[in-house]
Amino acid sequence: MEHTKGKWRVAELQEYNGLFMVKILCPNNNIVVQLTIPTWVGKEEILANAQLIAAAPNLLATCEVAVLALTHRPINPKDIEFIKQAIAEAKG
């Protein structure tokens, strides 16, 4: 099974009828994920969760790099920086 390739992004947040809808798009602007969540959850939390989902492909790649980096000595400083950047992106 393959996931949708490329950098995902949070595209929009709309509110209607007591619900927020947020879309996460891939590079060709197709919808990867569309979430519908009650507004009582809160806009900031919904956007933070959407950002974390959008970071999933990069986090997967980062985990793969981390496994390689941690199983080989010496650890490449560029791998550590790549891992830190992915964490920062996931946090928004």
pLDDT value for 55 = 92
Pairing of strands 9-16, 19-25: antiparallel
In the chain, domain spans: 1-54, 55-92
**H-helix or E-strand containing 10?**
strand 9-16
DSSP-derived 3-state class of residue 72: coil
pLDDT value for 25 = 96
pLDDT value for 72 = 75
pTM of the model: 0.77
Give per-10-residue mean pLDDT for the chain (92 aa).
88 90 94 92 91 91 82 79 83 75
Angle ∠(86,35,40) on CA atoms, nearest 5: 100
Rg (alpha carbons) of the chain, rounded to whole number? 16
Question: What's the pLDDT tens digit per position in 18-38?
Answer: 999 999 999 999 999 999 999
